[in-house]
A and B are shown apart, each in its own frame.
Chain A
Amino acid sequence: MIDVDRADRIDGPLLVIEGFGQAGYGELVEVHGPTGTHLGEVLSAGEDAAVVELWGDTTGLRARDLRVRFRGEALRLGVSREMLGRVFDGLGRPRDGLPAPVPEARLDVHGAPLNPAARDYPQDVIETGISAVDGLNTLVRGQKLPIFSGAGLPHDELASQIALQARLTGGNEDDAFAVVFVALGISHDTAAYFRERFAASGMLGRTALFLNLADDPPMERIVTPRAALTLAEHLAFEHGMHVLALMTDMTNYAEALRELSARKNEVPGRKGYPGYLYTDLAGLYERCGRARGRSGSLTQIPVLSMPGDDITHPIPDLTGYITEGQIVLSRALHRAGVYPPVDVPLSLSRLMKDGIGEGRTRDDHAEVAAQLFAAYARVREVRNLALIIGESALSPTDRTYLAFGTAFEHEVLAQGMDETRTIEATLDRAWGALSRLPMDELQRVSYAQLTKHYRDAREERTRGHA
């Protein structure tokens, strides 16, 4: 630990101390000034100067009236299982007025990459109780599956519903399930909404909340997800828990990164975001998965709002390249009153294929999902055609697609905000929708599955109408 009693330049979050050559790259720095204590880390360690990046707000900091303490190690977070049920600030300090839990270990918040050869391939499903996820974009333990949303779309509702309903299939391991909730620059209202929903459902006890709210220092946002994921990794790989990390809103995180990058005079990449945005995001998103010889898992659901609903914007674009699929929300479906408004063609779960099927979910799952995707793609074409030539001019087959489309959106996709459906129920509903189509249109399902489910679903439906 070394103390220096001055800084030579202060430029926003950057502090330069000239003539000081003993800093270590990346080490934790504490700055004690008249306005309180700030944390930061060494950005450049030179023999003639050290450059420090501060995470807090530097307003009022004076160059000659402060003490800079170099801590000799990177930022560490004390982690423990007792942190479940607690609320922390963006740097992992208690925010609920209670004393900090006694740490079981103090870990570098930057973490270390999992050795690819030590990973286990994720293959066990998490049942979310939501048809659009379980049926079409199945979530697997150890997966990172973001929600791409837009301003005004119900991503908070969906994310919290997933966090509340999520359960492991095959076995009663509920006490091994934990949620780490990470708020990144969201409003107090939104944070309160999440807290209330967790509390109302009695789930607060299995949840640790890390809150960096909209009026907290943006630079702190760089640390918040790292601190939270450090706890999540500890719970998953040391305590054998199945941890779901929910991070919202990653767009605020990326903007803090851009702001910091601009302050550092770095060469900007697309839309002013730094060229290392991919590597930086990957450093967060890749902190999930399963590890050989460890029983737990770490699953991530990052939530991000796409600026201007543009999926090619750098934040969703780079996220999509790193994560194992994405759940995209559709403004059109939202306007049509469908909740959750999941944009089916654009959504995808890459790990679904190995997590579903006989012995895992149900033997017809893969075929039904493929058929729904294909048929729904056709629905969109037929709807476009109907706009031009009118519904009455459509061929009889095309009209069955319109019926299927409506049934699919309202009976399969749509569900209540508190409604939990089993995967079984979701698949049965899917057959109900598919049974609106003539049998020979169902090319993606095998004959065996058709005979098993198609006629039943059709009869079930006619009985329902009678």
Chain B
Amino acid sequence: MSLVGHLIQVTGPIARMRTVAPVGVLEHVLVGHDRLAAEVISIDHDRATVQIYEETVGLRPGEPVHGTGHPLSVVVGPGLIGQTFDGIQRPLEVVREAQGIYLRRGAAAGLPPRRWRFTPALAVGDVVGPGAVLGSVPETPLVTNRVLVPPTLRGTLVRLAPEGDLDDTDEVACVRDAAGAMHVITLLQRWPVRRARPFRERLEPDRPLITGQRVLDTFFPIVRGGSAALPGPFGAGKTVLQHSLAKWSDAQVIVYVGCGERGNEMAQVLEEFPALVDPRSGRPLMERTILVANTSNMPVAAREASVYTGITMAEYYRDQGYHVALMADSTSRWAEALREIAGRLEEMPAEEGYPAYLPSRLAAFYERAGRVTTLAGDEGSVSVIGAVSPPGGDFTEPVTQHTQRFTRAFWALERELASARHYPAVSWKGSYSFYADNVAAWWRAESGLDWLALRRRAADVLEQDARLEQMVRLVGADALPDRQRWVIDVAALIKEGVLRQNALHEIDAFCSPAKQVRLLSLFVELHDEGASLLELGVPLMQIRERLDRGRLTRLKESVANDAPELIDEVWHETRRELASLRRQAEEQAKGAAA
């Protein structure tokens, strides 16, 4: 660490310095006597501008700036899982122990030191390339941390730790590169926060990321390695849905970034997750979760960094061959941090005051999602779900518009649905997903049913219902012909029995794929059966009388995820009920003919 310059001006999170020694752009520097974390954002002759990640009150011109010689970095290694970090990866629990309930300046960074049981997977003398697995440590009961050769290194293993306990800063291995230089590898490694970690090649999406949310998995699916945008006005349930995704998605590692959002929500996550159990492994959810919490009242520059901190950690686990999902709530707050900093730098504003590079930053972020072959030849993925908070719920604003361009699933939340307490308030009219075709084969293999066709027929019923809605508003449902009223009936059943889901209900919070397909199939079959009875001249009243609608719409809550066949049984019963109507109608028709 060496002196690189002195401050000449301080304005909020931005400061200018006069340099006395060379600094690099994006170099991590420490500002002032309190050594506040900062990053160089531009250099002009002997002047440099820095962005400071902590509160700057009291900072004065003339105070020293020290360089670290490396870019602002994320520390990666075992021990990340289960932690809560701020935007520049300081573990908040450690900070709390040091500072009490309030966040003060100059908090020490760094994970609490720990020892790990290392098991080697290679031998001295082996030739290793970037990303090669040297061995592993058991990070949590759910995640085995694979210790990798850094992505830039290639050479021969000259030393490798034997099976045994290691401190996280102890040498794990030593590699001699082609030039003969020795490189020591430790469990903890650094990676520049703004640089995407390399992989061998990008793969086509092949299977869904199951979220356990019917409206998403069934109607607007996301894939492993995919990206989705989740825009909605306030109060529409973005955060509750993001929490549900973090809880129930079938990813192996979850990175949840609370970016410029509420402190009480993070407290809720911290309270809930350790107590919740992953439905697949039976282990506490915290054993696969990393939290990044930079709430709205924490320094704005660290908010800007928080999404990068999150996705870099996500890529680190992807490179070990895991399927990782990252939730960012909310990317709008990140964009606003960009805008705020750009304003302080007196940059020329583009749309609504956002800097002109907003779209390219968004694109670069969402492009870090993907299903890949890792450098070591394994498969891993990062899926990204970004919440968007458009001002006034207006989806034509820049952040929503640009996010829409760079993501392939769009889950629009609607205020009207939320007002009627229909959650998740994902609009079936305004949402879409381009991934349905990618995952159709998986669903067909999983369920044995033509998922794509079922989904289309259900969507068709909802579509017809939306068209009829106008009419109902004008004349009332009772004035419509039976055929149309039946469509409205079934649409109501689908909304209540499939689309609506209770995030707080013990069973309904998560819905297994098998259960989802059967529910969908039930309502689609019911629609067809009813429509054919109406054809035969059976009055709608009679069909309605035979249906126990409450029972059908509560199947989502009454049928356990591991007993989806109960849904088929209910459907068979319902069909038997309706079959008697069919017989009557057919007999009447015969009678009339005779």
Question: What residues of chain A have their CB less than 8 Å away from a CB belonging to chain B?
Answer: 21-27, 43-48, 73-74, 108, 110-122, 142-143, 237, 266-270, 275-276, 278-279, 282-283, 286-287, 289-294, 312-314, 317-318, 320-322, 324-326, 345-346, 348, 350-351, 353-354, 366, 370, 373-374, 377, 381, 384-385, 388-389, 393-395, 398, 440, 443
Contact = CB atoms under 8 A, between A and B. Distances in A.
A324 B62 CA distance: 43
B367 to A, nearest CB: 26
B343 A266 contact: yes
B339 to A, nearest CB: 5
Contacts of A381: 473
A115 B297 contact: no
Interface stretch (B5-13, B434-442, B444-452): B5-13
Contact of A115 (B92, B420, B474): B92
Contacts of A366: 504
Nearest to A50: B61
Contact of B343 (A267, A317, A350): A267
B353 A312 contact: no
Contacts of A321: 234, 389
A25 B336 contact: no
B59 interface: yes
Contact of B474 (A116, A326, A388, A398): A388
A306 B69 CA distance: 51
Interface residues of B, number: 71
B102 A115 contact: yes
B395 to A, nearest CB: 12
B481 interface: no
B421 interface: yes
Contacts of A276: 300, 336, 340, 343
A303 B326 CA distance: 36
Interface stretch (B38-46, B138-146, B267-275, B311-319): B267-275
A321 B390 CA distance: 10
A117 B295 contact: no
24 contacts: A22-B61, A24-B60, A26-B56, A26-B57, A43-B11, A44-B10, A48-B8, A108-B57, A113-B102, A115-B96, A115-B99, A115-B103, A121-B268, A142-B264, A278-B296, A279-B340, A287-B297, A313-B392, A320-B234, A321-B234, A322-B296, A350-B235, A374-B421, A377-B419
B96 to A, nearest CB: 5
Contact of A324 (B102, B262, B300): B262
Contacts, number: 220
Contacts of B336: 275-276, 278-279
B398 to A, nearest CB: 12
B498 to A, nearest CB: 15
A345 B421 CA distance: 8
Contacts of B271: 120-121
Contact of A24 (B58, B95, B339, B472): B58
A119 B340 contact: no
A24 B32 CA distance: 11
A460 B429 CA distance: 44
Interface in B541-563: 550, 553
Given A45-B61, A275-B353, A389 B264 contact: no
Contact of A317 (B93, B391, B418, B473): B391
Given A121-B267, A279-B336, A321-B389, A25 B12 contact: yes
Nearest to B86: A116
B581 to A, nearest CB: 20
